[in-house]
Amino acid sequence: MYQVIIFIYDEKYFEDIMTVLTAIGINEAFIVEGLNMTNVLAFHVPIFAGLRAELKHSPKFCKIIFTFIEDKETIDELVESIEDSGINNKNKKVYSIVYYPVEKIE
């Protein structure tokens, strides 16, 4: 079993990625919104106010999807299906996917 974490940096692709997940049979996941660390530091920690200029080059937030996938083949199918849907990271970073093996304790 693998824990898969998908970071979506461009909100307009969120529904497309959710559609891909459900199409390959992934129906259980947790979704949270994350704030960019640079943004938090720049606006909430005065000593880092100089970082505000850096914000033009990084997303303000992202959606983060946490899910479990039973096998590596399904992860490969997920990546391939996202690419087949027309979403890519060639011109700008739209998403990142990380995964690692885990053991489920019941």
**pLDDT tens digit string along 13-36?**
999 999 999 999 999 999 999 877
Residue 62's identity, in one-letter code, is: C
**pLDDT tens digit string along 37-93?**
666 666 666 665 565 565 555 556 689 999 999 999 999 999 999 999 888 877 778
Residue 51: the pLDDT is: 55
SS3 track for 49-80: HHHHHHHHHCCCEEEEEEEEECCHHHHHHHHH
State whether residue 14 is helix, strand or coil: helix
CATH fold of 2-101, please? Alpha-Beta Plaits (3.30.70)
Domain boundaries of the chain, sorted by first residue? 2-101
Mean pLDDT of the chain: 84
Distance CA 12, CA 45 (A): 30
